[in-house]
Structure 1
């Protein structure tokens, strides 16, 4: 299973900044040591053309050259630097590359990504460019050039289980019937001004495993009833975990793993390829956040391996003789 990283593009942050930059390298190290079946690959750089599938030319240029309005960088939460701009491009490039790999292999991942607070012309909440929106539209464009794509457009479902609502993603796709946005999130958590997703499931502070999983099952049922995706983008945020500083929900380790299994099983049972990105995770102990994310990879690998067996069997049965 392929996974793309960009953790060596580190942006300089002020002393005491609350964004856990170190977790990305820690996750890559843990994957290399514990899950060697994950093929770790450096993220490519998203081009202006790819970014333009979701962002305005002025915003792309402003981030690239540091001329963006200082109010926007304050809303993002990162000071501008060349490293900041490069990391943002690499994070988008990682999701696009993983999406291409997932269409071929069933499952692939970005060790970062999930920047769902970014709008067409501005960022916010530690999100510069919206990798979900760019990847969805790039995949649709590339699919449209294939024989299958000429018969039917690629329908994309975004399953956003980060604890914060994906306001930027919801806004970008608000009039797009080819993309279904689903968000389970803390009702009273950031962003305080929500956008309307196709399906929003607001959860109360302190929500525990059982009601969360019941809400997720219901949401996946609704998604399946209302939409027929050919591709899924899954934001596997670690921040609903009970150890998260910013999450305000109370999912246990078992609850988080069950959440991931429900999503991957939903995709697997429908034979839908899925790219997953890591979204937020702000553990009081950063090691716990990394473990939550490592568990997501461990579960995804199980499904990837099952998919490979099925693909090999399918190829064998179609072989002559």
Structure 2
């Protein structure tokens, strides 16, 4: 059975100006249940992950400031909102949801986290609404437990996975691949193993062609036995922050390429949802739901 990490805390209300994007965390599972793509049994609620697991990825001083709510105001501004205990708990649950999803993917081929994709969090910083890097934490957990030997992280959010790149810059067991807007946040990029920067206005055919080429290259260079996929839908032309010009159909085809390739190669796949900021919440939810629809058609 395909399992999906979801918890009510994922939709924790943020300060004014940040609440709208949070709606999708309630609406995605609701839509999938309503249309019959999933049943209640597909959903599970993760516990908060532990300090020991967090410290496999993040620096002790940084984590201590998050845990104790003592992060300096300047660093909180870099994250984008004031820190509080519920936001820290939210990130701990998201991280554990991705760990649990990775373990479930080993059994069932694929698993999801309705949230996650917190790829701007580096080893000792938070940034861009990201406090802890869920897929990096899960990758280090698998390696630490000896459950995998080589991991590929495929980041197709419109923003570079700068935190993920920094965390694994000296780790030859984790290969990072990011396709992202060249002139978009973060404006100081880190170096992934493969970076594919895209010009503003990049469209469907050119995007999919580059994905075919570079995803194949990433697989050949990394020879992974596990894949993490960040499937942000902020690549859509309707996205307020994305600057690319992909159609919803191309976004769905992007997902099909990743999911089908991993399935055909027998590679377990954990998927975190990443960004999406279209003005119409229905566009965001439908684009994210397409990823689940594909998986349930393909893996069931």
Helix, strand or coil for the counterpart of 2:255? helix
- Give the equivalent residue in structure 1 for 2:72: 69
Is 1:177 the equivalent of 2:172?
yes
Helix, strand or coil for the counterpart of 2:179? strand
Q: Which aligned pairs between 1:123-272 and structure 2 lie closer than 5 A?
A: 123-142=126-145, 144=146, 154-272=149-267
- Give the equivalent residue in structure 2 for 1:47: 50
- Give the equivalent residue in structure 2 for 1:36: 38
**Bigger Cα Rg:** 1
Q: Give the whole-Å Cα distance in 1 for the aligned partners of 2:179 and 2:156.
A: 5
Q: Give the whole-Å Cα distance in 1 for the aligned partners of 2:139 and 2:152.
A: 9
Moved over 4 A (4+): none
Q: Which aligned pairs between 1:74-153 and structure 2 lie closer than 5 A?
A: 74-142=77-145, 144=146
Describe the shift of the 1:61–1:11 C-alpha distance in structure 2 as closer, same or farther (beyond 3 A): farther
Report the Cα offset of residue 225 of structure 1: 2.4
Is 1:21 the equivalent of 2:12?
no
Helix, strand or coil for the counterpart of 1:21? helix
Report the Cα offset of residue 13 of structure 1: 2.5
Report the Cα offset of residue 224 of structure 1: 2.5
Runs (5+) with no aligned partner, structure 2: none
Is 1:5 the equivalent of 2:30?
no
Q: Give the whole-Å Cα distance in 2 for the aligned partners of 1:22 and 1:224.
A: 34
Q: Give the whole-Å Cα distance in 2 for the aligned partners of 1:120 and 1:231.
A: 22
Q: Give the whole-Å Cα distance in 2 for the aligned partners of 1:140 and 1:33.
A: 37
Report the Cα offset of residue 255 of structure 1: 0.3
Q: Give the whole-Å Cα distance in 1 for the aligned partners of 2:238 and 2:8.
A: 23
In the superposition, the TM-score normalised over structure 2's length comes to: 0.95
Helix, strand or coil for the counterpart of 1:133? helix
Helix, strand or coil for the counterpart of 1:20? helix
User: Pairwise CA RMSD of aligned residues?
Assistant: 1.4
Q: Give the whole-Å Cα distance in 2 for the aligned partners of 1:217 and 1:36.
A: 29
- Give the equivalent residue in structure 1 for 2:59: 56
Helix, strand or coil for the counterpart of 1:212? helix
Report the Cα offset of residue 91 of structure 1: 1.0
Report the Cα offset of residue 19 of structure 1: 5.8
Describe the shift of the 1:254–1:12 C-alpha distance in structure 2 as closer, same or farther (beyond 3 A): closer
Q: Give the whole-Å Cα distance in 2 for the aligned partners of 1:220 and 1:6.
A: 31
Helix, strand or coil for the counterpart of 1:94? helix
Report the Cα offset of residue 18 of structure 1: 6.4
Q: Give the whole-Å Cα distance in 2 for the aligned partners of 1:239 and 1:230.
A: 28
Report the Cα offset of residue 16 of structure 1: 2.9
Asked if 1 retains the 8 angstrom alpha-carbon contact of 2:160 and 2:180, the reply is yes
